[in-house]
């Protein structure tokens, strides 16, 4: 891990992240500290230089007529 004290791993699908795992370097290896999934509530990740609140679902692409229709397209 080259001495990187924290790293995050993101598992995506076609619409964006489905899961984020935050790791912390401990005793020469990486230890998962937190797993956040897109279908869960926002979480605060402390495996970072400063605590970060993240909502994995908010990072996903939303689909629907209001977001995909172009101006002038029929409904």
* pTM (2 d.p.): 0.68
Q: What is the pLDDT of residues 16-29, one digit of tens each?
A: 888 999 999 888 88
**With 0-12 CB in 10 A as exposed, 13-18 as middle and 19+ as buried, what is 4?**
exposed
CA quadruple 38, 40, 46, 50: dihedral positive or negative? Answer: positive
CB 57 within 8 A of CB 38: yes
Give the other-Cβ count within 10 Å of 25's Cβ.
Answer: 16
| Tens-digit pLDDT string for the chain (75 aa) | 467 888 889 888 888 888 999 999 888 888 999 999 988 888 898 878 888 898 888 888 766 555 445 555 555
Q: Distance (Å, rounded) from C-alpha 22 to C-alpha 15?
A: 21
Asked if residues 45 and 22 have their Cβ atoms less than 8 Å apart, the reply is: yes
């Amino acid at each position: 891990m080259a001495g990187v004290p924290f790293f995050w791993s993101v598992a995506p699908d076609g619409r964006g992240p489905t899961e984020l795992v935050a790791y912390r370097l401990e005793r020469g290896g990486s230890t998962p500290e937190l797993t956040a999934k897109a279908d869960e509530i926002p979480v605060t990740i402390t495996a970072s230089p400063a605590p970060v609140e993240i909502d994995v679902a908010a990072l996903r692409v939303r689909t629907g007529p209001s977001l995909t229709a172009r101006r002038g397209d029929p409904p």
